[in-house]
């Protein structure tokens, strides 16, 4: 970063460039947290009308009337990398891993990084790799269970295995999770009822789909399941990616 300042207040030298800020950066080989900080600083500087420069806390100069750009003009690639780096930095701290920023970004990696980040932050979020959920019956039967199977209903189920995501060829263990949906629907309800009636339900696998939605919702299982109902679902909010099953007009810009 280079600041161009006049030698004296009000001085204009036509032989040199006008006062302003020159900015260049290279993210190769840097940690995600560093990349996120650098790109955030770059965005602030490029979209700012003026910049105040302080040295050891003392005011040195205020550079005004900078060649400000709008967010639309700033550059889609920089915004995408900033989002991705910020998500990866949170995953890195949570999983206690150490890696450099990937050199390429894929939409799939961005989605899984954002899902993992929101889970870590305690949110409920749709997961693109959870389109079905399987429950194993224990062999017991109650009128309530038999009546629930044919009808969609609210469900909060704890998954048997910890949730993992694969990003840039690495696997990250995020933690134990709940699978959640307000209208979980048993795909093989008739077969499950027949197993109950025939006394062969022990070990029977009931497959559920997330109502008419493409995915189940997930939340970290670091709280009681009773805390889940009524909690708001967070959208992915990724620049340039429309979340399936969501009206694009309702997604944050």
Q: What is the pLDDT of residues 8-53, one digit of tens each?
A: 655 555 555 566 677 777 777 899 999 999 899 888 888 888 888 8
pTM: 0.84
Q: What is the pLDDT of residues 16-26, one digit of tens each?
A: 556 667 777 77
- Among residues 14, 46, 78, the one where a domain terminates is 78
8 and 73, same structural domain?
yes
Sequence-distant (6+) residues with CB within 8 A of 250 are 235
Which phi and psi angles does 110 have, rounded to 5°? -65, -45
pLDDT of residue 81: 92
134 and 38, same structural domain?
no
Contact 51, 62 (CB under 8 A): yes
132 and 70, same structural domain?
no
pLDDT of residue 250: 61
Max CA pair span of the chain:
94
147 and 70, same structural domain?
no
Count CA atoms closer than 13 A to 244's CA, side-chain side.
13
In a domain, 84, yes or no: no
67 and 12, same structural domain?
yes
pLDDT of residue 8: 64
pLDDT of residue 118: 98
Residue 110 gets which letter from DSSP? H
The parent domain of residue 128 ranges over: 124-229
130 and 38, same structural domain?
no
Helix (H/G/I), strand (E/B), else coil: 6: coil
Residues of the chain with pLDDT under 50: none
Long-range Cβ contact pairs of 5-12 (< 8 A, separation 24 or more) = 5/53, 5/61, 5/63
In a domain, 42, yes or no: yes
């Amino acid at each position: 970063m280079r600041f161009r300042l006049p030698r004296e207040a009000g001085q204009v030298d036509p032989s040199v460039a006008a006062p302003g800020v020159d900015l260049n950066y290279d993210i190769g080989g840097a940690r995600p947290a560093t990349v996120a900080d650098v790109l955030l600083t770059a965005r602030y500087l490029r979209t700012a009308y003026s910049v105040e420069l302080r040295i050891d806390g003392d005011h040195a100069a205020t550079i005004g009337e900078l060649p400000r750009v709008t967010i639309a003009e700033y550059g889609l690639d920089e915004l995408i990398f900033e989002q991705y780096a910020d998500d990866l930095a949170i995953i890195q701290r949570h999983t206690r891993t150490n890696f450099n920023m990937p050199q390429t970004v894929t939409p799939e990696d961005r989605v899984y990084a954002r899902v993992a980040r929101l889970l870590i932050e305690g949110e409920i979020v749709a997961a693109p790799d959870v389109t079905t959920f399987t429950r194993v019956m224990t062999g017991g039967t109650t009128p309530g269970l038999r009546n629930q199977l044919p009808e969609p209903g609210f469900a909060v189920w704890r998954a048997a295995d910890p949730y993992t995501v694969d990003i840039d060829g690495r696997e990250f263990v995020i933690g134990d999770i709940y699978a959640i949906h307000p209208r979980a629907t048993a795909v093989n309800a008739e077969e499950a009822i027949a197993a109950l009636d025939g006394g062969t339900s022990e070990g029977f696998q009931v497959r559920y789909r997330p109502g008419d939605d493409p995915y189940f919702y997930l939340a970290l299982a670091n709280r009681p399941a009773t805390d889940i109902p009524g909690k708001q679902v967070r959208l992915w909010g990724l620049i340039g990616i429309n979340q399936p099953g969501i009206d694009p007009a309702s997604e944050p810009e």
